[in-house]
Amino acid sequence: MTQAFAAPALHLLLLEAARALSLLRAGRSLTEALEACPPALRPGTQALAFAGVRAHGRCGALIAQLVPRRAPPLVEGLLRAALAQLLSEPPSYAPHTLVNQAVQAARKAVPAQAGLINAVLRRFLREREALMATALMTPEAQFEHPVWWLQRLKQDWPEHWQAMLLEAQKPPPFALRVNRLQQTPADYLARLQGAGLAARPLGASVPEGVWVDPPCPVTQLPGFADGAVSVQDGAAQLAAPLLLDGVGSLPDLPQGARVLDACAAPGGKTAHLLERRPDLQLLALDQDAQRLRRVDETLQRLKLQARCAAFDARDVAAWWDGQPFDAILLDAPCSASGINRRHPDVRWLRRETDIAQLVTTQAQLLEALWPLLAPGGRLLYATCSLFAAEGRDQAGAFLHRHPEAREHPVPGHSGHHLGLPENAGVAVHGAGFAVPSDGFFYALFVR
Ligand SMILES: C[S@@+](CC[C@H](N)C(=O)[O-])C[C@H]1O[C@@H](n2cnc3c(N)ncnc32)[C@H](O)[C@@H]1O
For residue 67, the model assigns a pLDDT of 97
171 beta partners = none
Average pLDDT rounded to a whole number, residues 156-183 = 88
The residue to mutate among 242, 286, 293, 312, having the most atoms of ligand 1 within 8 angstroms of its beta carbon, is 286
Banded model confidence at residue 438, pLDDT cuts 50, 70, 90: low
422 Cβ closer than 6 Å to some ligand 1 atom: no
Q: 328: which residues sit within 8 A by CB, 6+ positions away?
A: 259, 260, 262, 369, 372, 373, 377, 378, 379, 380
Average pLDDT rounded to a whole number, residues 385-394 = 90
Cα 315 to Cα 87, 319, 365, 367, distances in angstroms? 49, 7, 9, 11
Banded model confidence at residue 416, pLDDT cuts 50, 70, 90: very low
For residue 411, the model assigns a pLDDT of 61
The residue to mutate among 29, 177, 263, having the most atoms of ligand 1 within 8 angstroms of its beta carbon, is 263
DSSP 428: G
Average pLDDT rounded to a whole number, residues 206-233 = 93
pLDDT tens digits, 124-141: 999 999 999 999 999 999
81 beta partners = none
Counting beta carbons within 10 angstroms of the beta carbon of residue 29, is it exposed (0 to 12), middle (13 to 18) or buried (19 or more)? middle
293 Cβ closer than 6 Å to some ligand 1 atom: no
Q: Is the pLDDT of residue 428 over 60?
A: no
In DSSP notation, 328-343 reads EEEE-----GGGTTT-
φ, ψ of residue 217 to 5 degrees: the values are -65, 145
φ, ψ of residue 113 to 5 degrees: the values are -105, 5
For residue 5, the model assigns a pLDDT of 57
For residue 41, the model assigns a pLDDT of 95
Reduced to 3 states (helix: H, G, I; strand: E, B; else coil), residue 174 is strand
Banded model confidence at residue 313, pLDDT cuts 50, 70, 90: very high
Q: Is the peptide bond before 371 cis (omega within 30 degrees of 0)?
A: no
CA of 312 to the centre of ligand 1 (A): 9
Reduced to 3 states (helix: H, G, I; strand: E, B; else coil), residue 285 is strand
Nearest to 359 by CA among 381, 333, 340: 333
Contact between residue 438 and residue 235 where contact means Cβ atoms under 8 Å apart: yes
State the catalytic residue, choosing from 37, 263, 308, 384. 384
Q: Is the peptide bond before 266 cis (omega within 30 degrees of 0)?
A: yes
pLDDT tens digits, 65-93: 999 899 999 999 999 999 999 999 999 99
φ, ψ of residue 305 to 5 degrees: the values are -130, 135
What is the spatial distance between Cα 379 and Cα 328, in angstroms, rounded to a whole number? 5
What is the spatial distance between Cα 53 and Cα 77, in angstroms, rounded to a whole number? 10
Return the residue whose CA atom lies nearest to atom 18 of ligand 1: 312
φ, ψ of residue 150 to 5 degrees: the values are -60, -45
Phi-psi region of 64 (alpha: psi -120 to 50; beta: other; left: phi over 0): alpha
What is the spatial distance between Cα 284 and Cα 306, in angstroms, rounded to a whole number? 7
Counting beta carbons within 10 angstroms of the beta carbon of residue 217, is it exposed (0 to 12), middle (13 to 18) or buried (19 or more)? exposed
What's the CA angle centered on 275, arms 269 and 279, to 5 degrees?
Answer: 110
For residue 7, the model assigns a pLDDT of 83
Banded model confidence at residue 206, pLDDT cuts 50, 70, 90: confident
364 Cβ closer than 6 Å to some ligand 1 atom: no
The whole-angstrom distance between residue 120's C-alpha and the CA centroid of its chain comes to 34
Q: Is the pLDDT of residue 107 over 80?
A: yes
For residue 244, the model assigns a pLDDT of 93
In DSSP notation, 355-394 reads HHHHHHHHHHHHHHHGGGEEEEEEEEEEE----GGGTHHH
Return the residue whose CA atom lies nearest to atom 13 of ligand 1: 263
The whole-angstrom distance between residue 347's C-alpha and the CA centroid of its chain comes to 11
268 Cβ closer than 6 Å to some ligand 1 atom: yes
Return the residue whose CA atom lies nearest to atom 1 of ligand 1: 333
Average pLDDT rounded to a whole number, residues 312-322 = 98
Is 59 noted as a catalytic residue in this protein? no
As a residue count, the chain comes to 447
Average pLDDT rounded to a whole number, residues 98-124 = 98
To the nearest whole percent, how much of the chain has pLDDT over 90? 76
Reduced to 3 states (helix: H, G, I; strand: E, B; else coil), residue 186 is helix
Cα 256 to Cα 252, 307, 326, distances in angstroms? 12, 14, 10
Q: Is the pLDDT of residue 3 over 50?
A: no
pLDDT tens digits, 243-299: 998 667 788 999 999 999 999 999 999 999 999 999 999 999 999 999 999 999 999
Nearest to 313 by CA among 329, 298, 327, 294: 329
Q: Is the pLDDT of residue 418 over 70?
A: no
The whole-angstrom distance between residue 198's C-alpha and the CA centroid of its chain comes to 23
To the nearest whole percent, how much of the chain has pLDDT over 70? 92
Contact between residue 283 and residue 311 where contact means Cβ atoms under 8 Å apart: no
Stretch (H or E) spanning 229 = strand 229-231
Atom number of ligand 1 nearest to Cα 382: 1
Contact between residue 442 and residue 395 where contact means Cβ atoms under 8 Å apart: no
Return the residue whose CA atom lies nearest to atom 25 of ligand 1: 288
For residue 419, the model assigns a pLDDT of 44
Output b/e per residue, 286-317; b: 16+ Cβ within 10 A: bbeeeebbbbeebbebbebebebebbbbeeee
Average pLDDT rounded to a whole number, residues 309-330 = 98
Return the residue whose CA atom lies nearest to atom 27 of ligand 1: 265
25 Cβ closer than 6 Å to some ligand 1 atom: no
CA of 366 to the centre of ligand 1 (A): 13
Q: Is the pLDDT of residue 427 over 70?
A: no
φ, ψ of residue 116 to 5 degrees: the values are -65, -45
φ, ψ of residue 128 to 5 degrees: the values are -50, -50
